[in-house]
Chain A
Amino acid sequence: MMLRRIIRVCLGASALGVAALGVTIVLAWGSLREQQQSLLHIYAIQQRMATLSQGINHLLLQDQPAWSARVLVAEARQLASAMGLINYRDADAASQFLLELEGNIAAIAELAQQKLSATEQASVRHAQGILVNQVRAHEAGLNVAAQAVLGNHYSGVEQAVYRVILTLFAMALALAALSLAGFALLFRRIDQPLNALNEGISALQQGRRDQPIVVSARDEFGDLAEGFNHMLGSLRNHEETVQQQQRSLALALAQQQAILDTLPANIALLDSDGKVLDTNSGWQAFARDNDYREADQGRERNYLAVCDTATGADAEIAAEVAKGLRGILSGESGANSFTLTYPCHSPDEQRWFRLMATPLVDGGQHRGAVVMHIDVTERELAELALERTAYEDPVTGLPSRAGFGKQLQDTPLPASPGEAFYILLCDVRKLNDINQNCGYLAGDHLLRALGQRLAENLVSGERIGSMSSGQFVLLIDHRQRGLTTPGEIWAWLDTLIDLPFFVDQHTLYIDLTLGLTLCDSSARGHEELLRHGQLALQTARERGERWVAFDPALEKRVQDRIWTTVGLRNALAERHFELHYQPKVNLADGQVTSAEALLRWRHPILGLRPPDSFIPVAESSQLIVPIGEWVLREACESLSFWQKQGLHAARIAVNVSMVQFMQSDVPAMVSRILDDVGIDPSALSLEITESVFEQESEHLLRQMEALQALGVRLSLDDFGTGFSSLSHLRRYPFDEIKIDRSFIRDCTENSHSRGIVEVIMGLAANLGCSVVAEGVETVAQRDLLLQLGCTIGQGYFYSMPLTGEDFYWLLSSSSHLPLNEQAKITEVKI
């Protein structure tokens, strides 16, 4: 049982005992009060009996005046009544005595009143004597009975008192016994574990931590002992942990010291005044190597004082170190470290050291610093090598793009036009051919030779660098050279490369493409100058020109291209594209036979934009693939819609660019769309311009054959203006040839054009291809074409490209074109 429970039980039992004692006392008090009342009652009876006895004596002594028989009878009755209140058998006897006494007293009184003769008086006296004896006997009996009653009541009172006393004594005894038992139990439960706890604590105080307390009781002492033993175990574990940590710490310190000693650095620990407290072996070795003769090898000396008193070449560095170190030691600098790389003027070789000072902060207080000198000579040398690598072109030995840029940054930009200079970027044309023919090493030698030739011809203030392989950049002071225009600068440069280069037994002539920009103010930064030069060079390459000078329009064109690309992406996502349809018409009767789908961009700000303004950008940005797919799907769905509406629309034609063939799988795309839309493949014509043949390949041929296999019609667009050749017509499976508008435009006036049209017509007839005349704009042209056998045409004579709604209306109205009645054909001669 837990001690608290025992104490609670003891307290409860004591409280119960005290309560029982209290109740007993109260009850005893009541009983005693009751007995006291009985005693008082008995005392009253005794008084009455004494009074009655006295009255009887008076009566027997013939003391009539004081006690008459009547009064005695009344008194006897009252006494009987009073005794009747006592519930005891003797009271009945006493009552009987009293009743008889009453009769005797009355008889005495009666005899006393009789008047008898002298002889009779003797007999009467005898009777009186008997009566008197009766009275005496009754009184005695009454006394005995009363005494018995009183004795019994006294005995009752006595017993009650005894009971009370015994009860109180028993209660007190029980309470005492209970208390003693409780205290004995508590003492027994407390003494042993308390001694055990004392012994355990004494043992702990004497350092014996392996002596647990043995307490078998399962109470608070047991818990305490268990807690103490647990604490003892924890203490042992803690001590073991501390010892282990001490060993680990010592090992760590040794390891750290070993690390410090093995570090390629000279390390010293300074106090807050700059005094050297400790050093590592490197510091000590440095001190020995430098003939530092003091036994402590620098310890206990003030490092700041050493710096302050330095003289000679190192005085300036020492002063800087002292300044930085004071900031670290005082914390006033606010820096977490002070670092200084300084050269060491060794007589044998140039060396560098890096000084690093780190504050020792404890609780926000600066307690000192760790000063470390590291030999960074190798690193410095490596950094120099890296810098050289970073700023020097390894092939030509000229400054690289970064090196030239750094030089350019170091060059002050002109504050006035009189200080202007040119930035030239030039690259070697067809360098790849030289590499492939003569080898890359020869190419490298060529570039090095070219760089040397250019560098050798520079004048003061001019600079040269190598932007990339085969591309050089120059800063030319044209004023100093007397050159005024870009053309003159090109001419100067051209003269430099006019002479051949002899490289690896090769005699090589090179040609350059030049982009240049004039820097006549500081409005443009160095990077912008280089970018403008690059833009001019790129423009020259695109144009195929030998040189191009930077013009702001070039930059605008680039920006337009960028913005157009962004706009195209947005247009594709926001469905800003739309298709216009230019009818293809039977030239004989003006009936619409098919339509060419033409892409339009309805720009939300710029309005409707023609394809020439964004198709090249789309082709260069690879957006032509999704745009082309959108066009094809939209055109097919329109055709399907018209056909489902019962309109006469036999075919739809869609333009496909070379980029689409190069960057995507056009047959797969066409097949997928045809399947999705569900139109007859023969109703689709893909118009391909002659430009596709500029990059003729087997890949293109396989795609066109695949398209033919699908049943799609192939149309050769703008025939006669590009790279078409008869072999192309023979090799590629075209179903249709579209005569370029340039031949149609003047075929009525120019016999050559008419002849070309006639040749194309004959060629088509021989190849089995149909012919479509583009750009039909007049009745004469129509009539001529009809005469030459061309039956299908398109052009503004019939209709400009129509929106989808207009073309739908045109089909639904079954109108014949042109809508102008005067232009209709009345008779055609073929």
Chain B
Amino acid sequence: MIIITLSRVVRTIALLLACLSTFHAVAEHPDLHVRERVIIAGSVTLGDAPTRLADQLGLFAGAGAEVEVTSYSSGAAALNELLQRRADFALTSAAPFAAALLQQEKTAVVDGEELVVLARISRSNNTHHVVVASADADFPPGQLVGRRIGVMPGTTSEYFWAGYAPLHGIAQADVQLALLDVDAMTAALRARDIDAAVVWDPWPRRIRDALGGELALLSDSRIDSMSWLLVTRRLMVEQHPQLCDGILRAYLRAEEIIHDDPARARGLEADASGLSLGYVQRLAGDFIFSLGLDWSLLSEINHHVAWRLAQAGGDSDFVFAPERYLAPEPLARVAPIRMLLPRYWQQDAAR
């Protein structure tokens, strides 16, 4: 059974309402006003390391863009900054993005205000973990049956848990899901409101540091799929292509540095994130920093949307066209080799 606290429900509803109001407001203002300093909203996940590296090394400025990077606890929060027009670009995983798209599909959105993905900057299949307050390091997943599991709704943690449970023979009914913000996971575990929390790196380290106790960390890379996306609005792509190109070039340059000088990149990431260098090094092995836009992302977004629709009870008449939410033009200009979308999809997107 799923336990949903009132405050969390209110907060989620408020968030959705805010998104809707934002879409509405955008629909009334088709011309995008760009700030003097472009704001990119990111999060603490290591998948967002290229953003911090480009910011630290001034790569955005070198690419012709005055950028300010802001960081949030999750990609959903960062995306919310974009939706609230407090940011121009956001870095988020596919799960919040799919949720936002699904919301946009259900509401009228002025042309150009729809969210679009410029590129996937990183991905990982080993960044989500089930953190269990247990001294047994080899805590078997089957013992989660009957436990209270904390997940953050609208994020990949929820998506991960949905794949992890059946893969380890855990039926949804065997556990109680507690929908919590990731910031609240630590307190919930401390309060034993939940037995386990599905979080992403670096939250397990933070929880351990906060709780100080022994924790079991359950992972499964097979169904751990997280793509870290650079998202903006369509108008930004259409009206400020040079800005978009410059930002993509900065990400490409940061990616080169990560690959060519990983020690330096990890050191900078450690400085920027406040994590220890050793932890950053361990996490880095679980991430693939490869800027790109390919058909698998379409499939992934489509799968997220389909899963979320299925979670909501399903809508047989709903036809989702994920290509509408991709903006391949900047990447096709900056790094065409990284753009692997089928041509007819690109043409559809153009239409």
B297 proximal to A (CB < 8 A): yes
Q: Does B273 contact A (CB under 8 A)?
A: no
A89 and B222 CA atoms in complex are apart in Å by 24
The answer for the CA separation of A96 and B260 in the assembled complex, in Å, is 17
A147 to B335 alpha-carbon distance, docked (Å): 11
- By beta carbon, the residue of chain B nearest A127 is B163
A127 touching B337, Cβ below 8 Å: no
Interface residues of A in 602-624 (CB under 8 A from B): none
Between B159, B165, B290, the greatest number of chain A beta carbons within 10 A of the residue's beta carbon is seen for: B290
A100–B162 Cα gap in the complex (Å)? Answer: 20
Cβ of B139 under 8 Å from chain A: no
Contact A137 B123 (CB under 8 A): yes
CA distance A148 to B221 in the complex (A): 25
B288 CB contacts on chain A under 8 angstroms? 93, 96-97, 141
Interface residue ranges of B114-141 to A (CB < 8 Å): 123, 125
Does A134 belong to the interface (CB within 8 Å)?
Answer: yes
A178 is an interface residue with CB less than 8 A from chain B: no
A45 to nearest B CB, angstroms? 15
| Segment touching A, from B166-174, B229-237, B239-247 | B166-174
Chain A interface residue count, CB cutoff 8 Å, equals: 35
Q: Is B279 an interface residue (CB 8 A)?
A: no
B171 touches A143 (CB 8 A): no
Partner of B303, one of A111, A120, A130: A130
Q: Which residue of A lies closest to B256 (CB)?
A: A89
A143 CA / B296 CA spacing, docked (Å): 11
Docked complex Cα distance between A100 and B127 (Å): 14
Instruction: Check A133 against B165 for contact (C-beta < 8 Å).
Output: no
Q: How far is the CA of A127 from the CA of B260 in the complex (A)?
A: 35
The smallest C-beta distance from A197 to any residue of chain B, in angstroms, reads 67
User: A127 vs B221: C-alpha distance in the bound complex, in angstroms?
Assistant: 12
A50 to chain B, nearest CB (A): 14
> Within the complex, what minimum Cβ distance (angstroms) separates B160 from chain A?
8
Report the bound CA distance from A234 to B164 in whole Å. Answer: 116
Whether A139 is near chain B, meaning CB under 8 Å from some CB there, is yes
- What is the bound-complex CA distance between A136 and B225, given in angstroms? 11
Q: Quick check: is A124 within 8 A (CB to CB) of the other chain?
A: yes
**Which of A89, A143, A144 has the most B CB atoms < 10 Å from its CB?**
A144
CA distance A143 to B292 in the complex (A): 11
Sort chain B's interface into a size bin. 20 to 34
Known: A133-B225, A137-B123, A140-B340. A123 touches B292 (CB 8 A): no
Interface residues of A in 91-119 (CB under 8 A from B): 93, 96-97, 100, 103-104, 107, 111, 116, 119
Whether B292 pairs with A141 at a CB distance below 8 angstroms is: yes
For the complex, give the distance between the alpha carbons of A403 and B310 in Å. Answer: 183
Name the CB-closest residue of B to A100. B125
B198 CB, min distance to chain A CBs, angstroms:
14
> A132 to B223, Cβ gap below 8 A?
no
Please determine whether B222 and A131 come into contact, CB atoms closer than 8 angstroms. yes
Contact B222 A137 (CB under 8 A): no
Interface residues of B in 289-307 (CB under 8 A from A): 290, 292, 294-297, 299-300, 303, 306-307
A126 at the interface (CB under 8 A from B): yes
A151 CB within 8 Å of chain B: yes
The CA-CA distance from A358 to B225 in the complex, in Å, is 140
B259 on the interface (CB 8 Å rule)?
yes
Determine whether A414 belongs to the interface, using a CB cutoff of 8 Å to chain B.
no
| B166 near A120: Cβ-Cβ < 8 Å | yes
A123 and B165 contact, CB distance less than 8 A: yes
CB contact between B290 and one of A122, A127, A141, A151 (< 8 Å): that residue: A141
Say yes or no: A126-B307 contact (C-beta < 8 A), given A136-B300, A137-B227, A143-B294. Answer: yes
A126 touching B221 in the complex, CB below 8 Å, given contacts A89-B259, A141-B288, A144-B338: no
The CA-CA distance from A127 to B223 in the complex, in Å, is 6
Shortest CB-to-CB span from A145 to chain B, Å, is 7
Measured between alpha carbons, how far is A234 from B235 in the docked complex, in Å? 99
Q: Choose among B171, B259, B290 the residue that contacts A123 (Cβ–Cβ < 8 A).
A: B171
Chain B residue with the shortest CB-CB distance to A124 = B166
B300 CB contacts on chain A under 8 angstroms: 133, 136-137
Is A144's CB under 8 angstroms from B303's CB? no
Task: Write the A558-573 contact mask toward B (1 if CB under 8 angstroms, else 0).
Answer: 0000000000000000
Task: Find B162's partner among A126, A132, A145 (CB 8 Å cutoff).
Answer: A126
Given the complex, which residues of A lie within 8 Å of B172, measured CB to CB? 123
Taking the closest CB of chain B, its distance from the CB of A147, in whole angstroms, is 5
Max chain A Cβ within 10 angstroms of own Cβ: one of B165, B223, B294, B303:
B223
| A417 within 8 Å of B (CB atoms) | no
Any chain B CB within 8 A of the CB of A768?
no
**Are A123 and B125 closer than 8 Å at their CB atoms?**
no
**Which of B225, B227, B306, B338 is the most central at the interface, judged by chain A CB atoms within 10 Å of its CB?**
B225
Q: Which of A128-165 contact B (CB under 8 A)?
A: 129-134, 136-141, 143-145, 147-148, 151
- From residue 306 to 351 of chain B, which have CB atoms closer than 8 A to chain A? 306-307, 310, 337-338, 340
Contact A137 B297 (CB under 8 A): yes
Selected contact of A100 from candidates B221, B259, B340, CB within 8 Å: B221
On chain B, the residues within 8 Å of A129 by CB distance are 303, 306-307
**Cα distance A111–B165 in the bound complex, in angstroms:** 13
Report whether B171 and A137 are in contact in the complex, using a CB–CB cutoff of 8 Å.
Answer: no
Give Cα distance in the complex from A137 to B292, angstroms. Answer: 10
Q: How far is the CB of A88 from the nearest CB of chain B, in Å?
A: 10
Closest to B173 in A: A119
The reply to whether A137 and B340 contact each other, CB–CB distance below 8 Å, is no
> A139 to chain B: which residues have CB within 8 Å?
296
CA–CA, A143 to B227, complex, Å? Answer: 16
Tell me, rounded to whole Å, the shortest Cβ–Cβ distance linking A56 to chain B. Answer: 11
Partner of A103, one of B159, B166, B221, B306: B221
The contact string, 1 if C-beta is below 8 Å from chain A, for chain B 252-290, is: 000000011000000000000000000000000000101
For residue B282, give the distance in angstroms from its CB to the closest CB of chain A: 16
Q: In the complex, what's the smallest C-beta–C-beta distance from A817 to chain B, in angstroms?
A: 157
Q: How far is the CB of B63 from chain A (nearest CB, A)?
A: 20
Q: How far is the CA of A126 from the CA of B163 in the complex (A)?
A: 6
A141 to B296, CA, bound (A): 9
Is A148's CB under 8 angstroms from B222's CB? no
Smallest beta-carbon distance A100→chain B, Å: 6
Most chain B Cβ neighbours within 10 Å, of A131, A134, A151 = A134
Q: Compute how far the CA of A138 lies from the CA of B300 in the bound complex, rounded to whole angstroms.
A: 12
B342 to chain A, nearest CB (A): 11
Q: Which of B125, B166, B295 contacts A140 (CB 8 A)?
A: B295
Closest B residue to A137 using CB positions:
B296
Q: Are A144 and B292 in contact (CB under 8 A)?
A: yes
Which chain A residues border B295 with CB–CB below 8 Å?
Answer: 136, 140
Q: Give the complex CA separation of A127 and B225 in angstroms.
A: 10
Asked if residues B222 and A107 are in contact (CB atoms below 8 Å), the reply is: yes
Docked Cα-Cα span, A147 to B338, in Å, equals 8
Contact present for B296 and A123 (CB under 8 Å): no
Q: Are B163 and A151 in contact (CB under 8 A)?
A: no
Asked, given contacts A137-B297, A151-B337, whether A123 binds B166 with beta carbons under 8 Å apart, the answer is yes
Residues of B close to A133: CB separation below 8 A: 225, 296, 299-300, 303
User: Across the interface, which residues of B come within 8 angstroms of A116, CB to CB?
Assistant: 166
A129 to B222, CA, bound (A): 11
Q: Jot down 27 A-B pairs with beta carbons below 8 A, ordered by A.
A: A100-B221, A123-B162, A123-B166, A126-B166, A126-B307, A127-B164, A127-B166, A127-B167, A127-B222, A129-B306, A130-B222, A132-B303, A134-B223, A136-B295, A136-B296, A136-B300, A137-B123, A137-B225, A137-B297, A137-B299, A137-B300, A140-B294, A140-B340, A141-B290, A141-B292, A143-B294, A144-B290
- Contacts A134-B225, A137-B225, A137-B296 given; 19 further ones with Cβ under 8 A? A89-B259, A96-B288, A100-B125, A104-B222, A107-B167, A122-B310, A123-B166, A126-B310, A127-B163, A127-B166, A127-B223, A129-B307, A131-B222, A133-B299, A136-B299, A141-B288, A143-B294, A144-B294, A151-B337
The 8 A-B residue pairs with the shortest CB-CB distance, nearest first, are: A123-B166, A140-B294, A136-B296, A137-B296, A140-B296, A107-B222, A127-B163, A133-B300
Residues of B within 8 A of A (CB): 123, 125, 159, 162-167, 171-172, 221-223, 225, 227, 259-260, 288, 290, 292, 294-297, 299-300, 303, 306-307, 310, 337-338, 340
